[in-house]
């Protein structure tokens, strides 16, 4: 036998009663690895065997140990994440102890261990769906051979995306991703008039003659005897302008339910807005699309600043903006 084709068993293997100097024709070998090929060499020796090294003979015995339950899985990773799903992958156990027939994935919402879900898979990746947004889930995985299941891995905690976050595999960056790069969501309460047009983004209702007399002077729009409307372009920083006229809203207060159109800067959607201490209302949600230019960003913020200065029951009411993410 070529000595390079095998390794010595090592000190972890035990021979009962002993490895050498046996007087009986049997020995027990313990603590072998499961599902592993072993070669045993047996030789009879006497007092002159050491003098005849070239003529010494032995017999070889090849043995394959049975399969056993695999060792626990030690490496588990989170992949693509959505508001209702998490992709989880893992590595094969360090000691498979046989042919892996399948994996069992157990997961449950954190602190809700009595209500869990089991998924079985022959692959080393699964998608857990039907999850709650912005929630932490506990995952444990174990492998099975013909000898049975191994122990579960340690607990791994993974969190789903927030309500407005999109799955990480989507090619277009939507609301929450846009927010991270200082995008803005414009929330306008629908009062019977749809948002339209390119610049100001509203359909003007019938007004009395006094309301239609608007005067623009030194960057300000003046309504006779009512109030002054400020041109946001007079601000050097558009972020300062938008926060001057619009309230910042937490992203968790908004849920996008459907797309109702497309605007100059991105999609126009609709969904409920639930602010603390207030009843839930339906709003239109205007978004800034991915890949915008600096000019588009400034115009988008400028439009928000203009809309923030209107508060008319027949025109529009801006609920607020989202420029921050958690």
Residue 4 has pLDDT above 80, yes or no: no
Please, which residues bridge with residue 64 across strands? Answer: 37
What average pLDDT score do residues 34-50 get?
78
- Average pLDDT value over all residues in the chain: 74
The answer to whether residues 84 and 40 belong to one domain is no
Residue 181 has pLDDT above 80, yes or no: no
pLDDT of residue 158: 94
Residue 109 has pLDDT above 60, yes or no: yes
The answer to whether residues 101 and 153 belong to one domain is yes
Assigned domain for 71 exists: no
Assigned domain for 292 exists: yes
Q: Beta strand pairing status for 117-121 and 102-109?
A: antiparallel
The answer to whether residues 256 and 299 belong to one domain is yes
CATH number, domain of 144, equals: 2.60.40.10
Which residue in this structure is represented by tokens 């126009």? Answer: 268
pLDDT of residue 314: 61
What average pLDDT score do residues 198-210 get?
40
- The residue range of the domain holding 152 is 76-159
Instruction: Provide the 10 A C-beta neighbour count for residue 245.
Output: 18
The answer to whether residues 229 and 285 belong to one domain is yes
Residue 220 has pLDDT above 80, yes or no: no
Residue 286 in marked binding region? yes
Buried b (16+ CB within 10 A) or exposed e, 201-224: bbeeeeeeeeeeeeeeeeeeeeee
The answer to whether residues 190 and 268 belong to one domain is yes
The answer to whether residues 181 and 314 belong to one domain is yes
* Number of structural domains in the chain: 3
Residues 6+ apart with CB under 8 A from 252: 134, 162, 163, 326
Distance (Å) of CA 97 to CA 30, 35, 142, 311: 16, 5, 13, 71
Assigned domain for 169 exists: no
pLDDT band at 253 (very low <50, low <70, confident <90, very high): confident
Assigned domain for 70 exists: no
Q: Residues 138-167: pLDDT tens digits?
A: 999 999 998 889 999 999 999 998 765 333
The torsion angle over the Cα atoms of residues 302, 288, 162 and 140, rounded to 10 degrees, is -150
The answer to whether residues 305 and 276 belong to one domain is yes
């Amino acid at each position: 036998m070529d000595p390079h084709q095998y390794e010595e068993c090592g000190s972890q293997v035990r021979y009962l009663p002993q490895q050498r100097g046996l007087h009986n024709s049997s020995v027990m070998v313990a603590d072998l690895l499961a599902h592993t090929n072993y070669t045993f060499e047996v030789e009879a020796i006497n007092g002159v065997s050491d003098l005849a090294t070239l003529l010494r003979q032995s017999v070889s015995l090849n043995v394959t140990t049975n399969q056993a339950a695999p060792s626990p899985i030690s490496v588990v990773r989170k992949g693509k994440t959505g508001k209702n799903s998490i992709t989880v992958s893992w590595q094969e156990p360090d000691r498979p102890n046989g042919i892996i027939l399948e994996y069992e994935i157990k997961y449950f919402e954190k602190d809700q261990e009595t209500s869990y879900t089991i998924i079985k898979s022959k692959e080393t990746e699964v998608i857990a769906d039907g999850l709650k947004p912005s929630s932490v889930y506990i995952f444990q995985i174990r492998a099975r051979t013909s000898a049975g299941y191994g122990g579960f891995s340690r607990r791994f905690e993974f969190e789903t995306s927030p309500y407005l976050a999109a799955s990480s595999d989507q090619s277009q960056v939507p609301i929450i991703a846009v927010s991270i790069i200082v995008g803005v969501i414009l929330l306008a309460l629908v009062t019977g008039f749809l948002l339209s047009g390119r610049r100001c983004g509203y359909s003007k209702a019938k007004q009395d003659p006094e309301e239609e007399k608007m005067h623009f002077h030194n960057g300000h729009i003046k309504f006779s005897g009512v109030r002054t409307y400020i041109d946001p372009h007079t601000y050097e920083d558009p972020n300062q302008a938008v926060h001057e006229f619009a309230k910042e809203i937490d992203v968790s207060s908004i849920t996008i339910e459907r797309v109702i159109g497309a605007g100059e800067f991105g999609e126009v959607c609709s969904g409920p807005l639930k602010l603390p201490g207030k009843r839930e209302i339906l709003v239109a949600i205007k978004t800034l699309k991915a890949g915008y230019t600096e000019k588009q960003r400034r115009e988008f913020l400028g439009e928000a600043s203009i809309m923030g200065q209107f508060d008319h029951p027949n025109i529009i009411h801006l609920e607020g903006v989202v420029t921050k993410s958690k």
